A and B are shown apart, each in its own frame.
Chain A
């Protein structure tokens, strides 16, 4: 039995290395200054100490993505509960439409969104990136599916205790599906981190762009810097994982004993 586990871990380990190949490549790139200079820490020096620009971009991108992830999670929890456990007009229709709309690539609604942003006065401000991100249908649709598996009885019991809808969401639904909710947060964070087209169109001026834009094209002169920035990108998610891992892996066990 132990041997089987060992084999499994070995298999997973090798697979991980394959997945990690570009990370390793980037680590190498970040210290390799080309054939002449050999190994040097100039990349790190430049990003971390010399020009504050990169770090500023990093923190701003981080802030923006946290806002988007947080907002989306909150809204999705509410709407997911509504779709999964309550009734209202056109529920099935809207769910279907939302699921369909997750599929559209960015360029399709880019132009109407641009006109909309202009009318709302969001252009040239990060509002134009954050607010649509919060309302993305992805979270709602996924959490709807997840919440459907929560037994109805729990909600009935809560209602008997005179809990209103928001309280039900907060005290019953979310704790029961913590892994999913936290996962949604992480996934939304990751997706918004990779946003490239919208910042270019909706924002003016290079200084405002999030880090993702800088990292989206290959700049030959500053490969080391790019690699360092790329490695920086890994930090937030790693942090989430290590910190929130308990939430991710706790299942219904908590609820059952409460």
Chain B
């Protein structure tokens, strides 16, 4: 019996040792010293430009290999992919660079986002602060980046995210349409209501699909305040939906000629020239743009400098310079980028307008630049905006089709929105 016990004890001790040894040995990574791998995560919409940038980087720096991971489109694949990435990121083994996009607030993306709420992600310590790189980068002094956009990507005074494209709505006004003199959306409403021009009424009528833009920014994530003013918002909704009811008769049945549009290539294709672009303000007179794509570097990355350089390829003229320098080379040149990442939405610097817009007319470029100057700031689209937008559309149908009372409906909607923002901000 004793011998048996001793043998068993020995076996037990041995197995514990084996377990420990196994744990330790598996910790030793095999490091391949060959190439530094830069792991970039992006979305399908941005893939083409990211790929060009990858080619450029690999062509100019033989030590780097860029691995581009594109997030899946369909829910079944995308959801688990994102969960896994998030775990990897938190475990310190995630991607080096994020080049992600956002979708409009009235659209839905099945499977969710890798970064649901950029504001909160900045607070989590998952992203690296880019200040040290930006200070040494001359681009930020001489370049054309619209600095008002930078604030959204800052937290606690440090820059974590760099917005790469924005979206704001404008009224494309040809000469025969009267100019909007008001500063706030409410004043525009009054003017349009009093006007005879049915086109303006059509445009304003359709703006109900963008309820989340009526008052922005809706929340401040640093001070943890909800900025959405319930009274003003409900007041405006009452006036707005009242207007909609009155205008319905005039508008129904007629083809829509005028819309408040986002400034994108569709607009440029539609209107060749001779129009004045007026930025649509919000209820409090602010002109805000939503950020539609952005770049950020991971805190756990070992190649922060390389990731930052990659990111900057979309903003600075490094590729241009290279092309000029090697214009005489007979070998296949490296691709050029023209100062923008996102082909769908407005770039963040004026110098990119021409290329991005596929060479619109001089006047158009002027208009674009003018409207650009008017923008007060930018914000990220979060669950708050999407939920609010969705609620406004639902409220719209209830008010129009079921004839519910406007004030009660929109009061409820405002309450829910404020609750949601509160939760988002405080969590």
A residues with CB within 8 A of B? 110-111, 114-115, 118-121, 162, 164, 200-201, 204, 206, 209, 213, 217
Of the residues A110, A119, A206, A213, contact of B23 by C-beta under 8 Å: A119
How distant is B308 from chain A, measured CB to nearest CB, in Å? 27
Q: Is the CB of A204 within 8 A of B84?
A: yes
Interface 1/0s, chain B 1-35, versus A by CB < 8 A?
Answer: 10010000000000000000011001100000000
Q: How far is the CA of A204 from the CA of B80 in the complex (A)?
A: 8
Q: How far is the CA of A200 from the CA of B84 in the complex (A)?
A: 7
In the assembled complex, B83 has its CB within 8 A of some CB on chain A: yes
A contact face: mostly helix, strand, loop, or mixed: helix
In the assembled complex, B332 has its CB within 8 A of some CB on chain A: no
Of the residues B1, B23, B76, B80, contact of A120 by C-beta under 8 Å: B23
9 other A-B residue contacts (CB within 8 Å) besides A119-B23, A217-B79: A110-B87, A111-B90, A120-B22, A200-B80, A201-B83, A201-B87, A206-B77, A209-B80, A213-B80
B contact face: mostly helix, strand, loop, or mixed: helix
Q: How far is the CA of A116 from the CA of B310 in the complex (A)?
A: 32
How distant is A78 from chain B, measured CB to nearest CB, in Å? 12
In the assembled complex, B93 has its CB within 8 A of some CB on chain A: yes
22 pairs, A vs B, C-beta closer than 8 Å? A111-B87, A111-B90, A111-B91, A114-B88, A118-B91, A119-B23, A119-B27, A120-B22, A120-B23, A120-B26, A121-B26, A164-B4, A200-B79, A200-B80, A200-B84, A201-B84, A201-B87, A204-B84, A206-B77, A209-B80, A213-B80, A217-B79
How distant is A207 from chain B, measured CB to nearest CB, in Å? 11
Residues in chain A near residue B79, CB distance under 8 A: 200, 217
Q: Which 7 interchain pairs have the tightest Cβ spacing?
A: A119-B26, A200-B80, A200-B83, A201-B87, A115-B91, A114-B87, A119-B27
Residues in chain B near residue A204, CB distance under 8 A: 84
How distant is A116 from chain B, measured CB to nearest CB, in Å? 8
How distant is B234 from chain A, measured CB to nearest CB, in Å? 34
Residues in chain A near residue B90, CB distance under 8 A: 111
Tell me the nearest residue of chain B to A214, going by C-beta: B76
Q: How far is the CA of A162 from the CA of B1 in the complex (A)?
A: 9
Residues in chain A near residue B23, CB distance under 8 A: 119-120
- B48-90 residues at the A interface, CB under 8 angstroms: 76-77, 79-80, 83-84, 87-88, 90
Residues in chain B near residue A111, CB distance under 8 A: 87, 90-91
Residues in chain B near residue A114, CB distance under 8 A: 87-88, 91
How distant is A4 from chain B, measured CB to nearest CB, in Å? 52
Tell me the nearest residue of chain A to B82, going by C-beta: A200
